[in-house]
Structure 1
Amino acid sequence: MNTDKMFYKALFKNLFFDPCDVKYWDGEVQHCGDGKAKFTILFNEEIPKGDVIKDPFLTLGEGYMTKKIDIDGDVQEVIESLYNNKESFMSNGHKYQKLIKFIPNSIKKSKSDIKYHYDIGNDFYKLWLDNTMTYSCGYFKSENDSLEQAQKNKVEHILKKLCLKENQTLLDIGCGWGELITTAAKKYNVHAVGVTLSEEQYEADKERIKKEGLEGKVEVILEDYREIKNRTFDRVVSVGMVEHVGKGRIDEYFTDVDKLLNKGGISLLHCITGVKEGGTNSWINKYIFPGGYLQSVREIIESLTGHSFYLVDVESLRRHYGRTLEHWARNFENALPEIEKMKDETFIRMWRLYLNACAASFNCGNIDIHQFLFTKGITNDIPWTREYMYTD
């Protein structure tokens, strides 16, 4: 038996929470755990053990992308089984995050990173997002809520928290395809401004604003939020953007929000959070979100309260994001005939792994997502209880 195979047999013996089989490149099958196998890991070719030892997340992720490794079973369940085994060295990959060299996110680099992920085609995203084109965590008031309803719930939940008043100004940092800014203008009669670095989103937003007759009420800007000058707003919101500001840059984000938010104004930050510092892994960093970094709750609150902000409310939506990603993953598979016309097999396997791995990470608590509501200085504009957030 070669040393690589011996390594893998020892590795997989106790890697998963559930019983499974591993079929190696020479046809041998190893059974791991007690009971009937719930899934099978297939090695279509040998991968040097040194690569796994150096960086298991990158090596095994690339192995799946290029079909050196395959899975007979549900991809999400396999990854959840990996994460649910708390004794496994891969259930918490923080020591491997130290391998990543974080490059400071300049405005130029941020534009390049956003283009990499978000400008791969509006037509691609339309195939598996819902009709609102919302690419962030939904809010499921009921287990029976559709993905589209959950996304509308999320936008309304955020707008309620912001306590919007007629004719106020609202800035959405990282506005995506415009669901929040258009809803805010239509329902609350505010002047909403969205800022994005994605050219594809920018063009789609301009078209949507015109189609819905919101010119003069809704504005979209193609630039970095750090480039906004001589404008301030009554409300500032950011949904799923701060993950892109980079390691060591959260304080810079709050400094800029401080400049953009009027005194007494209200801001909401909705973002994925790391359970500990150092939240990302090398495969995600290389193939999905280059330059991304998940701030921990401690990092965010420490930075937020170091400015002139007053923290009002913090809410975890971890289970909501797990369910959102499960919807996306199913939609992605259902849309495969159309996706295959646009993308090659390596891309498809990469995105399948990304969506399922993220669903597993939220479900298992490896990562979280929070909404932080805060004010610039002390304000009494917010109701006494949280009841206003939940009433229709």
Structure 2
Amino acid sequence: MNILLRHVLESLVRQGSLRVSGPNGMIDSFGDGTGAPAHIHIKTLGAERAITFDPMLALPEAYMRGEVDIPEGGVLGLMRIVFQNIGDAGIDTAWTRAIDGVRLAFRRFQQINTTRRSRRNVAVHYDLSVDLYRLFLDDDMQYSCAYFQRPEMTLDEAQSAKKRHIAAKLQLEPDLKVLDIGCGWGGLALYLARSFKADVLGVTLSREQHAAATDRARSEGLASRVRFDVRDYRELGERFDRVVSVGMFEHVGVNHYNTFFAKCAELLNPDGVILLHTVGRSGPPSTTSAFVRKHIFPGGYVPALSEVVPAIEKAGLVITDVEILRVHYADTLKHWGQRFAANRDKAKAIYDERFCRMWEFYLAASEAAFRWQDLVVFQIQLTRNNYKLPTNRDYMARCEKLLELHAMAHSNGDLH
């Protein structure tokens, strides 16, 4: 191991048990020996040099190429040791501080998400084969944080609970017009139409998602109530009673927050309600992980609440409720990672070994970030005034309970 990398690891890993095998076969140990151990094998001098100077990008890239293996602890165990030692501040060396400073300075340029660039960015991730996503998502294809009302919930149960939780905050009534911005494969839109007789428009920039969602609406007999379009939210002009967006705001980019909320306000009827569900951070503004930005979500950014609220205020919207979901996404990602691992051979048949290693790292590192760093999920409820919604949260719990009882009765065949 080169002397600079050894110095970085000695400074970084004060707690835990990390062993590193270098290209020369030598093994170095770091930490105080506590906790579950992790062992990383760096196979080439090129990978070792790259990791020395830009570890948060070079490590996952070397793992993707097979130049790094993690024979003990896996990606999750390794990232646990890293995150628990660095906290939220990052790896603190002069070189990594310089790299992070450059990334922070240029983050707005990386998030210039025009309509054309947004379509291109979305295609990188969401136009992957739907068969891939079926390997690890729940039956309803919910690709966002589930809501574990009870720790023992299955993934399917927790995703159903998430839909009930969101629906309750929208305070829906029959025959309302609902806009779903970033509708994915259509699960939430179909649920709202089915449960509340809502007329729903779901928009996505992914042609793969649009095709799958449209087929689902047709097969479920809901095509008269739910339609899906390949359209950017900025191109819409009609008014809606409710606007919901789940897992899309992460792709808006900090440059476009004013545009997003101004457009939502323009599309909302005077007595309407908005519910925004997005990954956020409990700490201050930061930058997107270099690995995630380059290989997973180009143009993406996870905001601090302090970056979101000013844009809401500027749009003239009123924040009526904010809920922070902690650890729920870590548990969701745990389920996804386990399912992906169980179906790894099928994923490799669709793509290749490099792709599988990239997704293994993405899922496990994301779980680690939600467990041991500052990532959370924001659910922000918005209206135009203080009087549209009840002044306490009891109505949400009542609605969720009724929806749960209705689903149980339906599954038991008690509804006719």
TM-score tier after normalising by the smaller chain length: over 0.9
Specify the SS of the correspondent of 2:45: coil
Q: Deviations over 1:241-262 (max 9, x none)?
A: 0111123111110011011111
Amino acid at match of 1:84: Q
Deviates more, 1:36-45 or 1:157-166: 36-45
Q: Deviations over 1:180-221 (max 9, x none)?
A: 111111111111110011101101111100111112111111
**1-side partners of 2:103 and 2:59: how far apart?**
15
Q: In proportion to residue count, which structure has more helix?
A: 2
**1-side partners of 2:130 and 2:90: how far apart?**
38
Q: Deviations over 1:134-182 (max 9, x none)?
A: 0000000111101011111101100100101111111000000111111
Question: Structure 2: any 5+ residue segments left out of the alignment?
Answer: 402-416
Amino acid at match of 1:23: S
**2-side partners of 1:354 and 1:20: how far apart?**
21
TM-score using structure 1 length: 0.94
Q: How far does residue 338 in structure 1 lie from its aligned partner after superposition?
A: 0.9
Q: How far does residue 342 in structure 1 lie from its aligned partner after superposition?
A: 1.1
Q: How far does residue 368 in structure 1 lie from its aligned partner after superposition?
A: 1.8
- Equivalent residue number for residue 40 of structure 1: 39
- Equivalent residue number for residue 236 of structure 1: 243
Question: Structure 1: any 5+ residue segments left out of the alignment?
Answer: none
Q: How far does residue 49 in structure 1 lie from its aligned partner after superposition?
A: 6.4
- Equivalent residue number for residue 31 of structure 1: 29
Q: Deviations over 1:264-287 (max 9, x none)?
A: 211011111133213312111100
**1-side partners of 2:212 and 2:388: how far apart?**
35
Q: How far does residue 63 in structure 1 lie from its aligned partner after superposition?
A: 1.2
Q: How far does residue 384 in structure 1 lie from its aligned partner after superposition?
A: 2.4
Change (3 A) 1:89 1:211: closer
Q: Is the contact made by 2:47 and 2:62 (CA closer than 8 Å) also made in structure 1?
A: no
- Equivalent residue number for residue 287 of structure 1: 295
**2-side partners of 1:149 and 1:137: how far apart?**
12
**2-side partners of 1:81 and 1:96: how far apart?**
26
**1-side partners of 2:101 and 2:149: how far apart?**
37
**2-side partners of 1:13 and 1:104: how far apart?**
38
Amino acid at match of 1:158: I
Q: How far does residue 64 in structure 1 lie from its aligned partner after superposition?
A: 1.2
- Equivalent residue number for residue 391 of structure 2: 384
**2-side partners of 1:285 and 1:22: how far apart?**
27
**2-side partners of 1:315 and 1:282: how far apart?**
28
Q: How far does residue 302 in structure 1 lie from its aligned partner after superposition?
A: 1.4
**1-side partners of 2:278 and 2:206: how far apart?**
18
**2-side partners of 1:323 and 1:178: how far apart?**
23
**1-side partners of 2:90 and 2:246: how far apart?**
32
What is the 5 A alignment of 1:247-286?
A: 247-274=254-281, 275-286=283-294
**1-side partners of 2:285 and 2:33: how far apart?**
37
Specify the SS of the correspondent of 2:274: strand
Q: Is the contact made by 2:5 and 2:52 (CA closer than 8 Å) also made in structure 1?
A: no
Q: What number of residue pairs does the alignment pair up? A: 387
Q: Is the contact made by 2:322 and 2:379 (CA closer than 8 Å) also made in structure 1?
A: yes
- Equivalent residue number for residue 3 of structure 2: 6
Matched, 1:90 2:91: yes
- Equivalent residue number for residue 404 of structure 2: none
Specify the SS of the correspondent of 1:311: strand
**2-side partners of 1:89 and 1:133: how far apart?**
33
Q: Is the contact made by 1:267 and 1:373 (CA closer than 8 Å) also made in structure 2?
A: yes
- Equivalent residue number for residue 74 of structure 1: 74
Amino acid at match of 1:234: D
Q: Is the contact made by 1:273 and 1:279 (CA closer than 8 Å) also made in structure 2?
A: no
Specify the SS of the correspondent of 1:139: coil
**1-side partners of 2:287 and 2:257: how far apart?**
13
Let me know the Cα RMSD of the aligned residues.
Answer: 1.9
Q: Is the contact made by 1:97 and 1:278 (CA closer than 8 Å) also made in structure 2?
A: no
- Equivalent residue number for residue 60 of structure 2: 61
Matched, 1:189 2:187: no
**1-side partners of 2:268 and 2:287: how far apart?**
28
Q: Is the contact made by 1:279 and 1:293 (CA closer than 8 Å) also made in structure 2?
A: yes
**1-side partners of 2:224 and 2:387: how far apart?**
30
Q: How far does residue 48 in structure 1 lie from its aligned partner after superposition?
A: 6.4
- Of 374, 379, 382, the match for 1:366: 374
- Equivalent residue number for residue 149 of structure 2: 141
